[in-house]
Chain A
């Protein structure tokens, strides 16, 4: 914990969990999609569904999808900005089992790409992604994180981690989830050091790897 977690963050109100965290959920969805969505279906659950409207949660999520950060003063007007950019978005509510009360499930589409992200905002503006493309995951993006989506092929885990090790980057957490043997798999790797672009390039070149997302804290809006 830093003193700037006590005095800060700078954010658009009114609520760190329902507004600032909601922006971050939109932001991380955009990152996982790999760019600005053309369409997004946003489902709010629990307290997001109940009190989200008054907290500006829907505007906050759309702001994040548009690449804004939690301190962006354009958040209240995000709907208009998204429409100007030609982004289509719809809202609904859903019931999620075993999820934190402040949660959202977002399906975002860009060209051929579709991403489905389930994330919650437990407080203080922090978030946790608990579902990605139908598979269970768990990451916050607070430390440098690599998300590798691929086909489940023998040996690919060691090839991916080999690239990371070769760059002298220390992994602090590694989790692999797959649909079925030989099916789609997601690898989430949290690291101690910033993940450079060349790591993404090298991993993308590995056979069976379909998509690589790198999340470096402080570079969310890129």
Chain B
């Protein structure tokens, strides 16, 4: 197989070989890394298991070294249990899961960078609660991780997955596109619908800057994981409903790169401007 640097190439490769998208991603990587399919599957399954273990390891009493993060996942869970929440269940559990994972990361727990540590909450917050709600098997969820990785790889090749290079759109935006694609697969969507979901998700987060308070992966990173997850669900639903992104995925990713290149360095992980540059942001950074 030759390399792919676009969703259209990846879809073409899958179609040509009459393979589902996830399988094309897997086989290509096996060839590239010279590993067996079994080994690859084992590694991907391990990623899912680590995500589940991290989620379980959450401790609402724990705080990060800076004291800025911790406890919000617990507050969300309590709120859901109180029965006062608005959306009716699934959405709230996704919000809680994203907070839990973002806080686990801030509190130096073990996570799966997806695609980065700062954005590690998006994918599990979508896959775990939605998988449970849909009754997905572990096998389908591992397949969905391949779909997510394939989308992430295309974005990394065409644009970037580093906040320092293209802002938060490259981290939470990419994570959200990966999660939307993965969820579309789990719901039985076609390759076309998967790419479309990724396009919709990235479009909604274009322009997002990386402005962490004190330069730490905490504020606003933890809560942006929530936005990435919720956005992914909305975009998977739209794509499955037959709603099309007028701009195809590859061109959306190119736009992300273009925006990232034009973005001021003060808004790319340097902790100078945006939320980092606010009065309180500077006070926290000075501590």
**Chain A contact residues, CB within 8 Å of chain B:** 1-16, 19-20, 47, 50-51, 53-56, 59, 71, 73, 75-76, 123-125
Contacts and interface: CB of A to CB of B under 8 A. Distances in A.
Contacts, number: 121
Given A2-B33, A3-B25, A14-B216, A8 B65 contact: no
Contact of B146 (A3, A13, A14, A15): A3
B19 to A, nearest CB: 15
Interface residues of B, number: 48
Contacts of A59: 108
B144 to A, nearest CB: 11
A1 B155 CA distance: 12
A4 B162 contact: no
Contact of A16 (B33, B117, B150): B117
Interface stretch (B42-50, B75-83, B223-231): B42-50
Contacts of B111: 10-13
29 contacts: A1-B157, A2-B29, A2-B32, A3-B29, A3-B146, A3-B149, A3-B153, A6-B152, A7-B47, A8-B112, A8-B113, A8-B114, A10-B110, A11-B110, A13-B108, A13-B120, A14-B105, A14-B216, A14-B218, A15-B118, A51-B214, A51-B215, A51-B216, A54-B214, A54-B216, A56-B108, A73-B110, A76-B108, A124-B162
A122 to B, nearest CB: 9
Contacts of A6: 114-115, 149, 152-153, 156, 161, 178
Nearest to A20: B117
Contacts of B113: 7-11, 16, 20, 125
A123 B146 CA distance: 23
A61 B209 CA distance: 29
Nearest to B35: A2
B50 A10 contact: yes
Given A1-B157, A15-B217, 17 more contacts: A3-B146, A3-B149, A6-B115, A7-B113, A8-B112, A11-B113, A12-B111, A13-B104, A14-B106, A14-B218, A16-B116, A51-B214, A54-B66, A56-B65, A73-B109, A123-B164, A125-B113
Interface string B207-224: 000000011111000000
Contacts of B112: 7-11
B94 interface: no
B256 interface: no
Nearest to A18: B217
Counting from the closest, the 7 A-B pairs by CB-CB distance are: A13-B105, A6-B152, A3-B149, A51-B215, A14-B217, A54-B66, A7-B149
Contact of A53 (B65, B104, B152): B65
A188 to B, nearest CB: 25
B105 to A, nearest CB: 3
A55 B47 contact: no
A50 B215 contact: yes
B148 interface: yes
Contacts of A51: 214-216, 271
A10 B46 CA distance: 9
Contacts of A13: 104-111, 117, 120, 217
Contacts of B252: none
B252 to A, nearest CB: 18
Contact of A12 (B44, B110, B178): B110
Contacts of B218: 14, 54
Interface string B156-194: 110001101000000000000010000000000000000
Contacts of B114: 6-8
